[in-house]
Structure 1
Amino acid sequence: MSYDTRAGFPVHWNDFGVGPEPALMLHPALAHSGAWTRVAGGLADRVRAIAPDMPGHGLSGDWDQRSDYYDQMTGIATSFLEPGTHVIGHSFGAMVALRLALENPGMRSLTLIEPVLFAAAKERVRPVFDAYVKKCRPFANALAVGDRDTAARLFSALWGDGRGWEDLTQRQKESQIKRISIIAETNKTLNEDAAGLLSAGRLESLDMPVLLIRGSQSQPIMQDIHEALAERIPNARQVVVQGAGHMVPITHPIEVAAEIKAMIG
């Protein structure tokens, strides 16, 4: 593990693998770089991967709201890029990965695992987006009034690994409660595409192989997000991991690693 200042922020990261090609692995919100351990193990002979902790996560510095969270994390991730990098992102990490691909030509491949670009579904099937917003309203209301305990519990039910809140360890609960307010800072990025990822011609400009992985048991909106992206990205391939939910890299790391390995060769 390593620690340094990246894009002006104190960042910790883990190194995985001994393969010949560089990779960058970006974890979801409320997780940490260690979430990639088993997927990275399946790729260890093909890539040497860097997995940074997002601001306010893992061993990186506490988030101090110094800037837009998405911009800050994009700057941090960009600092790790080198020519020919395979970029792999999950959930909010996939949002960062997609932006990296759009802003940094020359990436070798892009893997997007359940990217939470809800704005893509809003453009494609508005009723699905509206149903998702309605489903999330209790979580949003709890967060708005500062009830972090309830907000974390509800968020875990929506986007967790399938375990009930009562099945998590006290440490896991406390970790999610501590970081849950960061979710509110990403709303404009995810729901309104504030960064313009969906602007005309942008997705169509991607020229690297793109792998879209989702779980069959994830939130219904994920299918529409993936379909919307696949319709516009020229070299996109979709994979659905049966029996998996949103946390598919953690619950089904063997399957996820195998699909990535098949793409990168």
Structure 2
Amino acid sequence: MKDLPRLAQPVHVRELGEGPRRVLALHCTIAHSGAWKGLAGLLGQEATFTAPDMLSHGRSPDWDRQGDFYDRITEIALAQLTGSMDLIGHSFGAAVALRLAVERPELMRSVVLIEPVFFAVAVQDAPELIERHGQDAQPYMEALSAGDEALAARLFNRMWSTEGSPRWPDLPESTRAAMIRGIHVVPAVDQALFADRVGLLQPGVLDRASMPVLLLRGSLTHHVMAAINEGLARRLPDAASAVVDGAGHMLPISHPGEAAAQIRAFWAGG
């Protein structure tokens, strides 16, 4: 694979926990590194989490629109990988983690992919679910096209939430503002996530990710996620898949105890 461009922007990096295991944690779109507080609090005696804020998220600067966003966030994550680390990614962060597992497997001991939104797997395996996802995504995409980022963030958040999730008016104003700030990056990664621009699904490429991989999803998440997780489990050399009952797409935030139990058992087995 080609080298990533060097278009550096300084980003904010948070450290959580104090355990000997070194973990790189990559958050989802329209969240921030603080999303790992619950999980790191439960695993903090075993692991120290290094958690960067993506560009246009958290305390990092806004994306300068230079280069490709997927490349830029991969570059930022790669800069935090030192020696043998365990990698945990959620949603878009999990898509970045998957790419790193292929491109730099020597730098990681294990990988946990929580609800990886690498839709290209379902494009191949379950096109009917991709069509359904497109129908569900149409309202927020139309809002983005109309320039209404506040409505787009609200609709995007609703699509990936469950019935029990806090409603938009009940979220703190700062949380709503952070989601609105980051929503513009969603269409910027379509070619990477849906069309596999990087070529991760080309024959033999995923074989490079030879470390143990755990694929986690919630039982109440969007139907397309089951196809993605199951498809990746079939394609990766050493992968296990698990489901957290009662959780949706935001399971590392909504169900940190169950996620921590799954990760702890995975680490012990690996």
Partner residue, 2:79: 79
Check if 1:207 corresponds to 2:233: no
Distance (whole Å) between structure 1 residues aligned to residue 156 and residue 88 of structure 2: 23
* Contact 2:25–2:52, Cα closer than 8 Å, also in 1: yes
Distance (whole Å) between structure 1 residues aligned to residue 150 and residue 82 of structure 2: 40
Distance (whole Å) between structure 2 residues aligned to residue 94 and residue 214 of structure 1: 11
Between 46-55 and 239-248, report the one with greater CA deviation: 46-55
Q: Secondary structure at the match of 1:24?
A: strand
* Contact 2:74–2:96, Cα closer than 8 Å, also in 1: yes
* Contact 1:7–1:79, Cα closer than 8 Å, also in 2: no
Check if 1:157 corresponds to 2:123: no
Distance (whole Å) between structure 1 residues aligned to residue 166 and residue 49 of structure 2: 29
1:160, distance to aligned residue in structure 2 (A): 3.4
Which blocks of at least 5 consecutive residues in structure 1 are unaligned?
A: 1-5
Between 102-111 and 165-174, report the one with greater CA deviation: 165-174
Q: Secondary structure at the match of 2:80?
A: coil
Q: Secondary structure at the match of 1:14?
A: strand
Distance (whole Å) between structure 2 residues aligned to residue 110 and residue 262 of structure 1: 13
Which of 173, 176, 181 aligns to 2:176? It is: 173
Aligned residues: 260
Q: Secondary structure at the match of 1:66?
A: coil
* Contact 1:13–1:52, Cα closer than 8 Å, also in 2: yes
Partner residue, 2:111: 110
Q: Map 1:162-241 onto structure 2 (within 5 A).
A: 162-241=165-244
Check if 1:65 corresponds to 2:65: yes
Which blocks of at least 5 consecutive residues in structure 2 are unaligned?
A: 1-5
Distance (whole Å) between structure 1 residues aligned to residue 22 and residue 7 of structure 2: 20
Partner residue, 1:3: none
Partner residue, 1:52: 52
Q: Secondary structure at the match of 1:192?
A: coil
Q: Which amino acid aligns with 1:16?
A: L
Q: Secondary structure at the match of 2:138?
A: helix
Runs of 4+ with deviation above 3 angstroms = none
Q: Which amino acid aligns with 1:44?
A: G
1:14, distance to aligned residue in structure 2 (A): 0.9
Q: Which amino acid aligns with 1:59?
A: R
1:7, distance to aligned residue in structure 2 (A): 6.0
Q: Which amino acid aligns with 1:74?
A: T
* Contact 1:42–1:258, Cα closer than 8 Å, also in 2: no
Q: TM-score, normalised by structure 1?
A: 0.94
Partner residue, 2:3: none
Q: Which amino acid aligns with 2:52?
A: P
Between 234-243 and 156-165, report the one with greater CA deviation: 156-165
Q: Secondary structure at the match of 2:111?
A: strand
1:145, distance to aligned residue in structure 2 (A): 1.6
1:163, distance to aligned residue in structure 2 (A): 2.3
Q: Which amino acid aligns with 1:63?
A: W
Distance (whole Å) between structure 1 residues aligned to residue 13 and residue 28 of structure 2: 14
| Per-residue CA distance 1:230-263 (angstroms, 9 max, x = gap) | 1111211111000000000000001111111111
